[in-house]
Amino acid sequence: MKTLSKKSSLKKRINSIKKTLLVLTLCLVGIQAVGFDKADRIPPVINSSKVWLPYGETLTGEDLNVTDDSGVDDMINITIDEGDYNSGVLGLYEVYVTASDWMKNSTEKVVEVEVYDAYPPVMAIKDEDATIQVEAGTDFVYGDYISAIDDVDGDVSDQITGDDVDTKKLGGQVIKAKVRDNAGNMTEEEYAIDVEDTVAPVFKFKKGKNAKVGYQAKFDLDDYVDMVDAGDDNATMTVEGDVDTSTLGKVSKLKLTGVDASGNISEETLKVTCADLTAPKLKLKYASATVEMNSTFNPQEFVAKAKDDVDGDLTKKVTTDGVVDTSQSGQYTVTFVVSDKAGNKTTATLDIEVVDDIKATGLINTAKTKLGHAYVWGATGPNVFDCSGFTRWVFAQNGISLPRTAAAQYSATKRVSRGDLRKGDLIFFKGTTGRGGITHVGIYIGDGQFIHAANSGISYNNLSESYYSAHYAGGGRR
């Protein structure tokens, strides 16, 4: 690529003028000697077909290669159409050029002019100091300390890259930084940096500078404050004072002092107030409960205990939220709430089922817990059963005694017609073992279904099934 020549010095121009005058004199003498018809009639030659012009500069005759047969190139007058190109915009232009010699012989030519980005960005330290000052422990970003300005692309400081800077290492370092413009022109420079720690440790309060500690709780400073120092991972913290957690309302003051390896010191005060921060303990008698229809429901009967570390027994202070309508069977939820004088609150929920027959519900729920367990003749539980052993075990878990065998249980219960069967009733079958009399028993659970110890194990069946319908002997109520 061709770049612009520097302008001649004044002395050089004077010598050029003298030379031109000499040439003119010689030419006049030559014309007189050979005659006017022998004079120069050949125009100059514009040899350049394409020239490269740096962005922002002006195209002059010195950028073009123009010659004349007279050999006196200094006498060539070159005219450039300045409107044919814009040196402030990169690109290729076609520029109209005219060249004429001293005898007015002229020639014209369209020359391609490529305006290009010739120079790399210029980098400089932003604060103009000889050394870059960097705070210890911070992230070093080149563009924060060094600027890079390109004549075409403008500010390219954010594109500066270079050596990694260890800001944990105090002292001087020398780094190499480099930057390229969009044309690929690159500048690379070395800079001296000085990493220094001028910032004191910082206390970070997790619960504020005015915090609370639980009454009679163990005070752990790590739960309340951290200390960090960007330039020193081993900065030390000292504490003056103690925290009293045995006296409600007592305010304890701790003086915190942080010191790093560079001698930077910070001080803070943490105030800690002893307060009742623990909610009462609330215990219910049951995880869930069953209530019989049309009975009186008193939620307080389900509270076992409510106790607070400071206020003591709060059992009578328990309140409830939720309505249980014992006139309607269904599922209900009651929320129990207890608060201490400090406003700490505990809640617990109880799922309550309102049933039309609480005894039947208990029997059925107990029976369901053994679904899938195996049948073993003669077994009475608690993990394997025969038919009467199963019914006897279920009733016993609900406080009701039954004889051992199916026939004996039939004799010990009141007869119930099939149409009057209720949940929890026993249902009996005859002839299931190939002999006469009562040979099998199960527990009715409603809608024609019953649960029993069949040969396949504890399972459900329906009275409408042909086998059981054919062997059905009747119902019994204890």
Judged by DSSP in three states, 267 sits in strand
Residue 154 CA to residue 169 CA, distance in Å, equals 34
- Are 186 and 173 in contact, with CB atoms under 8 Å apart? no
Q: Residue 303's closest CA among 264, 267, 350?
A: 350
Identify how many contiguous H helices and E strands the chain contains and give both numbers: 6, 32
Q: What angle do CA 257, 263, 267 make, to 5 degrees?
A: 20
- Are 45 and 66 in contact, with CB atoms under 8 Å apart? yes
394 class by beta-carbon count within 10 Å (0-12 exposed, 13-18 middle, 19+ buried)? buried
With tokens 């069949």, the residue in question is: 454
H-helix segments, 212-290: none
- Are 249 and 273 in contact, with CB atoms under 8 Å apart? yes
Q: Residue 365's closest CA among 456, 454, 287, 465?
A: 287
Q: Which residue type, as a one-letter code, is found at position 138? A: T
SS3 of the chain: helix, strand, coil, percent, to 5: 20, 40, 40
Helix axes 387-397, 358-368, angle to 10 degrees: 130
Asked if 274 is an active-site residue, the reply is: no
Which of 274, 373, 452, 471 is an active site residue?
452
Q: Residue 106's closest CA among 63, 42, 50, 24?
A: 42
Q: For the stretch 251-275, what's the b/e string if a residue is b when 16 or more beta carbons lie within 10 angstroms of its beta carbon?
A: ebebebbbbbebebebebebebebb
Residue 130 CA to residue 146 CA, distance in Å, equals 12
Tokens of 371: 């679904």
Strand positions, DSSP E, 241-300: 251-259, 265-275, 281-284, 288-292
Asked if 471 is an active-site residue, the reply is: no
Q: Which residue type, as a one-letter code, is found at position 328? A: Q
Distances (CA, A) of 400 to 103, 359, 392: 141, 10, 9
Q: Within 10 A of 430 (CB to CB), how many other CB atoms are there?
A: 19
Which of 274, 373, 387, 471 is an active site residue?
387
Which of 27, 274, 440, 471 is an active site residue?
440
Asked if 373 is an active-site residue, the reply is: no
- Are 321 and 333 in contact, with CB atoms under 8 Å apart? no
Active site residues: 387, 440, 452
